[in-house]
Chains A and B, each alone.
Chain A
Amino acid sequence: DAGVIQSPRHEVTEMGQEVTLRCKPISGHDYLFWYRQTMMRGLELLIYFNNNVPIDDSGMPEDRFSAKMPNASFSTLKIQPSEPRDSAVYFCASSLALAGNTIYFGEGSWLTVV
């Protein structure tokens, strides 16, 4: 399998612009996660889906962030409008189940908002 695929790998955008990050999970994985990683806060869970349904979005920082999973093979994380403090690495990840299962991470989307 190709693993978790994310795009874009790198994005530089101006403050106020909309950013859309995309993810294709590993086929057959029922769980999809969006994480954000910064030096200050480490790896933070933003939201996760089970069978395409959002289960826990308590980590989504504010209404500027939204995530969707229209089908089992695709998810998006959108930031609108973007702000410089959103600059971070955004990881998409997937797993077969929650408890005791390996979480497989994509290579990350490196976002810089100037």
Chain B
Amino acid sequence: QKEVEQNSGPLSVPEGAIASLNCTYSDRGSQSFFWYRQYSGKSPELIMSIYSNGDKEDGRFTAQLNKASQYVSLLIRDSQPSDSATYLCAAFSGGYQKVTFGTGTKLQVIP
């Protein structure tokens, strides 16, 4: 079983809409969660991190964490074509002392 799971997509949304990206994780000992964005042919870069249950907002991005359901999500408001990329969810496990990445969800924002 993959420790961090994401739907591979592609998820297509029209420009200006809200894109919702979801992630589940299997290790209940996971403490920190991250969303990385990866443009085609480029390396991943961090866009959001979240450690506590609830929402965390940063500009057009909102990360949501529900530890009871082992669920993390990323909302992108007012989606732009420049948001088209693959979004990787990652979780840090204190027990295993490692950061595990999901396989990513490809987002396409249609102008």
Contact = CB atoms under 8 A, between A and B. Distances in A.
A22 B72 CA distance: 34
Nearest to A50: B97
B99 A107 contact: no
A42 B103 contact: yes
A114 interface: no
A42 B98 CA distance: 16
A55 B45 CA distance: 24
Interface string B26-59: 0000011010000000111110010100000000
A49 interface: no
A98 interface: yes
Contacts of B42: 107
Interface residues of B, number: 22
B62 interface: no
The size class of the interface chain A forms with chain B is 10 to 19
Nearest to B96: A56
A23 to B, nearest CB: 12
A34 interface: no
A108 B43 CA distance: 7
B46 A103 contact: yes
B100 interface: yes
Given A105-B45, A106-B43, A107-B43, A99 B92 contact: yes
Interface string A34-62: 01000001111100100000011000000
Given A98-B92, A100-B51, 15 more contacts: A42-B102, A43-B88, A43-B101, A43-B103, A44-B101, A45-B100, A56-B98, A99-B32, A99-B92, A100-B49, A103-B34, A103-B44, A103-B46, A103-B90, A107-B43
